A = this chain, B = another copy of it.
Amino acid sequence: MSKYCLTVTCPSTRGIVAMISTYLAANGCNITDSSQFDDLATGRFFMRMSFVPETGVTLEALNDGLIDAAKPFGMTYGFHDERRKEKVVVMVSRFGHCLNDLLYRSRIGALPIEIVGVISNHMDYQKVVVNQDIPFHCIKVTKENKPQAEAQILSVVEDTGAELIVLARYMQILSDAMCRKMSGRIINIHHSFLPSFKGANPYKQAHERGVKLIGATSHYVTSDLDEGPIIEQDTVRVTHAQSPEDYVSLGRDVEAQVLSRAVHAHVHKRVFLNGDKTVVFPAAAGAFASERMG
């Protein structure tokens, strides 16, 4: 049984849901999950529907058939196969916990992604990655070779057909050009509860300020460092008794989970850009279920 989903954004107006749901019904589709959001502040409308094409209509036919009806609404839309795994390149520096987590979730099918390559500016994780039969690319970055290094990175992305780059504690700053080129297709994890403690050494900053919770933030990467649209955040309690080194360890769990939740939302087409912010719809039934036991 196929499972499709539809994503829609357009100016808010009357009749959108009626038009869409009538179109789907006419094409033999049974809607099984639906979320929508009207942003009163911006006048934008966002919708995501999961549905079962009970009479076998194809994604292509659905897509083409909606073109004319969508126009008067000024609608941007996309039909997606919920079974298809998104191709992902993971980038990592020396902290490996997010990489380890993504590899595991990908391996058991808890995240519907295919990791088509891992890029690092260090050699630490070559064996781990290669043992999972995933190509590992060590691309060193220096002040001098930055343009060439980014060209190499982009060529890995292009060669593998990657649709998404996940920065899993990758500590190099990407160039503006790269950010623009891959806009909305790079997800980063920052090890603080943004907007607090931007930049370097956020755990040390947090320790110095004496906060009682530390956190992590997953966001789309823009050319504005640590300012991109936030997808997911979470926090964990700390006490005076813990050192910055304890924070690093306690933060690992929350970083890995926040990042994997953000990637889950993105690849399930639950995230919409809304200016500098995001709309993140809840997961449909069954969306968390894994393919394998371990």
Give the interface of A toward B (CB within 8 A): 12-18, 21-22, 24-26, 28-40, 54, 92, 94-97, 99-100, 104, 108, 110, 124-125, 131, 193-197, 209-213, 215, 229-235, 239-243, 245-246, 248-250, 252-253, 257, 274, 276-280, 282-290, 293-294
Give chain B residues whose Cβ lies under 8 Å from the Cβ of A293.
94-96, 124
Give chain B residues whose Cβ lies under 8 Å from the Cβ of A16.
31
Asked if residues A95 and B35 are in contact (CB atoms below 8 Å), the reply is no
25 interchain pairs (CB within 8 A)? A14-B29, A18-B21, A18-B24, A18-B26, A21-B22, A22-B22, A33-B241, A34-B34, A40-B285, A124-B293, A125-B294, A195-B211, A209-B230, A209-B277, A210-B277, A211-B230, A212-B232, A212-B280, A240-B277, A240-B278, A240-B279, A241-B282, A243-B285, A243-B286, A243-B289
Interface centre among A29, A97, A242, A294 (most CB of B within 10 A): A294
Asked if residues B29 and A250 are in contact (CB atoms below 8 Å), the reply is no
Closest B-chain residue to A218, C-beta based? Answer: B212
Asked if residues A246 and B213 are in contact (CB atoms below 8 Å), the reply is no
Closest B-chain residue to A277, C-beta based? Answer: B210
Closest B-chain residue to A210, C-beta based? Answer: B277
Q: How far is the CA of A80 from the CA of B19 in the complex (A)?
A: 24
Q: How far is the CA of A96 from the CA of B95 in the complex (A)?
A: 22
Give chain B residues whose Cβ lies under 8 Å from the Cβ of A285.
37-38, 40, 241-243, 246
Closest B-chain residue to A193, C-beta based? Answer: B193
Give chain B residues whose Cβ lies under 8 Å from the Cβ of A26.
18
Asked if residues B34 and A13 are in contact (CB atoms below 8 Å), the reply is no
- The contact of A249 among B32, B243, B257, B288, by CB within 8 Å, is B288
- The contact of A195 among B22, B33, B94, B196, by CB within 8 Å, is B196
Give chain B residues whose Cβ lies under 8 Å from the Cβ of A94.
293-294
Asked if residues A37 and B240 are in contact (CB atoms below 8 Å), the reply is yes
Closest B-chain residue to A209, C-beta based? Answer: B195
- The contact of A38 among B32, B37, B211, B246, by CB within 8 Å, is B32
Q: How far is the CA of A17 from the CA of B24 in the complex (A)?
A: 10
Give chain B residues whose Cβ lies under 8 Å from the Cβ of A212.
230-234, 280
How far does the Cβ of A8 sit from chain B's closest Cβ, in whole Å?
12
Give chain B residues whose Cβ lies under 8 Å from the Cβ of A18.
18, 21-22, 24-26
Closest B-chain residue to A212, C-beta based? Answer: B233
Give chain B residues whose Cβ lies under 8 Å from the Cβ of A34.
17, 34-36
Give chain B residues whose Cβ lies under 8 Å from the Cβ of A243.
40, 285-286, 289
Known: A97-B294, A288-B249. A213 touches B193 (CB 8 A): yes
Interface centre among A32, A282, A293 (most CB of B within 10 A): A293
- The contact of A289 among B235, B248, B282, by CB within 8 Å, is B248
Closest B-chain residue to A271, C-beta based? Answer: B240
